[in-house]
Structure formats: C-alpha cells, structure tokens
A and B are shown apart, each in its own frame.
Chain A
Amino acid sequence: MATAETFYDVIRRQGITRRSFTKFCSLTAASLGFGSGAATAMAEALETKERVPVIWMHGLECTCCSESFIRSAHPLVKDVVLSMISLDYDEMIMAAAGHQAEAILEETKAKYKGKYILAVEGNPPLNEDGMFCIDGGRPFVEKLRWMAEDAMAVIAWGACAAWGCVQAANPNPTQATPIDKVIHDKPVIKVPGCPPIAEVMTGVITFITTFDKLPELDRQGRPKMFYSQRIHDKCYRRPHFDAGQFVEEWDDEGARKGYCLYKTGCKGPTTYNACSTVRWNEGVSFPIQSGHGCIGCSEEGFWDQGSFYDRLTNLHQFGIEADADKIGLTAAGIVGGAIAAHAAVTAIKRVTTKREKADA
C-alpha cells in the first residue's frame, strides 16, 4: 500500500491549481459563515490531513448497498472513493485477491490502529459457530471482530448490518445478527435501508472525513441528519393525508390523482429515512412518488411486519393471521355474547330465587 495521500495531493492530482485551491478554501469558509481564520485552517487541514482509510467488508448480504453506493451523484462516488477516502479493502471492487487481499487487512490494522473506519455490509450468522458465512477460511464473525478491534468506528451499512434484514427474518435459521449485537466496544453507525440511499451513504462518509468526527447518532444509532424524520413528515402527499384523501384501491380515481397511500399500507408514518427529501437516482423519484407505499425498508425487522400492504402488523400469535381490529372486534363480540348470557342467567336466577322465597 502506498503512503496515504493527503486531500491536497488528491486535489492537485485532479489538476487544480494552488491558486484555485486557496480560493476554494476562502469561498467555502465564507459561505459557511466561518470567521476569517477559517480559510487558512481549512487549507492547512486539507494539506496535512491524510485521507481516512476505509475497510469495507461483506457478510451475509445481497450487495444492494454497494450497488446503491456506486450510484451516488452528490458527491459522485468516484470522488468519494478516489479522493475523499482511501478505500483500501473492498472484496467487491478491489483488484487484489486471496493472500494479497488479506495482507491489506493486516497492514491497515497495524499501521492505522484506531484510525480506520470499518464499513460492514451484511451481518454475521452466529449459529453453528458462524459456519454459515466463511470468509478467507474462517467464520465471518471472527474476521469482523478481529478488524473491529483496532477500528476508529464501524459503519453498519443497510438493513442487514443495522437490523438483520431478510436473513434474520423469522425463524432466522443461521442466527444472522446485526453488527451492534456483536461489536460492543466501538461506536457503530447504523445506516439502514434496503439499500440505503446512495447520497446518505456518501454523506455519512463525507461528514466523517470533512469534520474528522462521527456524526451525531440517535437512540437507535442512526445519524440524526438523515434519520430523524419519518418519510411521512416530509412526504409531498402529506396534504392529502391531512385532508383525508386516500387511494382506496390500486388504480382508482385517488391513485390517479396522487392521493395519500395510507390505506394501501404505506409505512411512511413509521419509517425513518431520507427518501422523501433526498429521493433516489439523483433525486428523480422515490417509491411514493411512483405510486406505491413505503415498505419501511429501513426499519427494524421489516420483513417480519406482515404484508407490505398493511399499515399495522398482523399478529400470528392468534393461529391464523389477524389484524388488531379483527382481534379486537372478535374479543369484544365474545365478551358481548358472554355478557348477554350472563345477564340471561342473572335474570333467570332472580326469578327462580324470588319464587323460592315466595314458596317458602
């Protein structure tokens, strides 16, 4: 591995003159409202700061996170990979293989102890001592623990690493386990979604490299800047929700008019993600804009929450699947029946008691 380039090196390598570089620093400092010293500080930081080494590992997953990541438009993923970070290891896209690849891990661990970011796509299965995911001749869970030991922080990409996703869905035969349940002594940044939005992924990385600190996380360990509001809070169909205008059935008049998808099971009201603000594919659209409800892909256990077309979870405990209203109504009906019967018995008893008393 070559010595790490600084940001300045990268900027110069891209053909930018020193003059434009200083200009960029002062303009950026001014536009961000920083004081007069900031431009110099910024220039110095970029000149001296090494790019953050990133190790990207893959456990049980489908690679949709990588697929999403490489489509980032702002910033372009090439800028992230080639300029902002030093992506030293990624089984998916690196040229090295076998022992050569393993050597990179050893080297990073030793050389950048406590400085590199471990980005994990997918999760480790723990059943049978982790035998369901073997990577480089040993269980993935071991490799994960080993690399996490010396990392600065761990990024848990996607629903798999953050929550478990489909491989952890009931009955979870391999006991696939989210990263934060395996790595306890390092900050774990969850970036859920199936996949996460490309710009959210690069955004998290940009934040870390730019400010040299980890983004503020919410209670669930997700970066607040992308996950503190629900799809529903920023959905452009929200006025139809408040008005009480819903798509009642697919392809009805309401669907044509772009009404709210609440009744067709939209999970926007319970889903924290940036789709309704950042959108997908360079901001072209997102599921709701295309006429389908949100399926809550960035939420915990979204595969086990029943149909994509029900807002509330079906409850399997009741033998057959039933929703909260069916159960409630049935129970109320049974109770009502029991009351009627009880009242009838009460009345009969009363009459017979009176008769007994009269007879006596």
Chain B
Amino acid sequence: MTLHETLPADTHDEKAIERPSVYVYDAPVRIWHWGNAVSILTLALTGYLIGSPLISVSGEASANYLMGRIRFIHFAAAQTLTVLLILRVYWVFVGNVHARQIFYVPIWSGRFWKEWSHEVRRYMFMTRQTKKYAGHNPLARFTMFLLFTLPLFFMVITGFALESEGAGRDSWEYVLFDWVFSIWPNSQDIHTNHHLGMWGIVIFVIVHIYVAVREDIMSRQGIISSMISGERFFKDMED
C-alpha cells in the first residue's frame, strides 16, 4: 500500500517532525461523524423514553408537556440526522475514497476478503501482525456497513414512516414513505422493528468505541485523532 509522507511545514524554524501521516477523513466526514454521533445518542435516549416513558407527572394535563417534549427532541434529532446523512451521501460522490468506504462492501474483490480474514484472525488473537490501512480496515468496513450503515437507513425509513402516522395521510412523510406500510401493514410491527433497530445501533456503538480505543493503543496508529484532525499518523513504521 502506498503512503505518501507528508512533512509538516517547518514554520517556526524548528525541525520538522518526521512522522508518516495520511489525510484520511476530510472535514465533512468528521463533522458528519460527530454530528451523527450526537444525534444518535439523543435518538437512542429519547427513543427509549418513548418506548418506556418516565413515571407519570402529577398536576393538570395542560400544565405538562413532558412526553411531547421528549418526542419533539426525538423528531428534531431525527431531522438533523437525516439532513446530515443526506449531506454525507452527497459526500460519498464528491469526497475522497475513504468517504465511500462504509457505504458499500467490495464483495467482488479477492484482496478485500483476504485482508478481511486477516483482520478476523487478528481479533481472534490468531495473528499478531498488524497491517496498516489508510482508511478502515476491511473488517471494520464490513462491520460498519452491516451493523451501522444499513441499520441507519432502516431507522430513517421506519422512523419517517412512523412520523407520517402522526403527520397525517396528506403529509410529505406519508407521500414518501407510505410504501413501508405495504411491507408491514400493521404499524405495530414498524414500532417493534424500529425499537429493535435501536438496540442494533447501541450494540454497534459499544463495539465501535471499544475497538477505536483498543486500536489506538494497540496498533500505534492515530485512530481516534484521525476522526478529530482527519489525519492518521503511523506512530512507528518499522512494525
């Protein structure tokens, strides 16, 4: 694999730090990542509270709007997430190669599956050799596509279908997502699946954060900082 060595400019007459780095995540991907992460955490929390509401409040109904607020936050975060996702999909076409990675899996590529099985063996402690990839390692890419990208679209689609129920049959939500009710004529199924989808994403997040932290420590590559600064450092090249 080719890594172009970028030497940070020597602005203050100091010696340039010679550390190979590669620009992986461009700004839109990073902004999307954190915007998306915050939206999803909000959605999971408020979604859970929609499914299992808090203990009843007392007083007049007209003096309270707790459930309404929780639902409002869910919908607001959902709209934010959707707009970010649309921009992110746009970036798939305009951004760099890494911006495309989690939106498809090159199942036709022999090399991909070879590297994939290498990574599986590495996580099973069957090999110690760490390969370096500029973007995601193939296993990460595979997992992200399967356990994140697809579920995310699923959540958006089922979410808007649910929203169309309250918005009404003449709403744009219903115009765009009425077909979901042909798959599940009873919207109770959509609720159940939307709810299950949340748990799928929560599990992804748990694994994702663990793997990111672990990789950062183990592989001596700037994994976490790459999602903040965009650049990935390879702390030692001889490994």
Binding site for B on A (CB under 8 A): 163, 218-220, 224, 228-230, 233, 239-246, 248, 254, 259, 262-263, 267, 269-270, 296, 299-302, 305, 311-313, 315, 324-325, 327-329, 331-332, 335-336, 339, 342-343, 345-346, 349-350, 353
Contacts and interface: CB of A to CB of B under 8 A. Distances in A.
Interface string B187-211: 1110110011011001100110010
Interface residues of B, number: 45
B57 interface: yes
Interface stretch (B9-17, B59-67, B137-145): B59-67
Contacts of A339: 206-207, 210
Interface in B1-23: none
Given A245-B57, A263-B53, A224 B169 contact: yes
Given A219-B182, A244-B67, 15 more contacts: A229-B168, A243-B67, A243-B68, A244-B54, A245-B61, A246-B56, A259-B56, A270-B191, A300-B185, A305-B188, A313-B192, A324-B195, A331-B203, A335-B207, A346-B214
Nearest to A353: B128
A259 B60 CA distance: 11
B125 A244 contact: no
A25 B148 CA distance: 64
The 7 A-B pairs of least Cβ separation, nearest first, read A328-B199, A244-B66, A243-B64, A242-B68, A300-B185, A239-B61, A270-B188
Nearest to B72: A242
A244 B64 contact: yes
A192 to B, nearest CB: 10
Contacts of B203: 328, 331-332, 335
Given A242-B65, A243-B67, A332 B186 contact: no
Contacts of B169: 218, 224, 228-229
B interface majority secondary structure: helix
B107 interface: no
Given A220-B181, A324-B196, A328-B196, A244 B56 contact: yes
A159 B25 CA distance: 54
A332 B206 contact: yes
B186 A270 contact: yes
Contacts of B166: 233
B178 interface: yes
A313 to B, nearest CB: 5
A342 B210 CA distance: 10
Contact of A313 (B64, B185, B188, B218): B188
B55 interface: yes
A218 B175 CA distance: 12
Contacts of B123: 342
B51 A325 contact: yes
Most B CB contacts (10 A, CB to CB) among A239, A270, A350 go to A270
A333 to B, nearest CB: 10
A300 B64 CA distance: 34
Contacts of A241: 67
A229 B165 CA distance: 8
B52 interface: yes
A329 B187 CA distance: 23
Contact of A219 (B51, B181, B188): B181
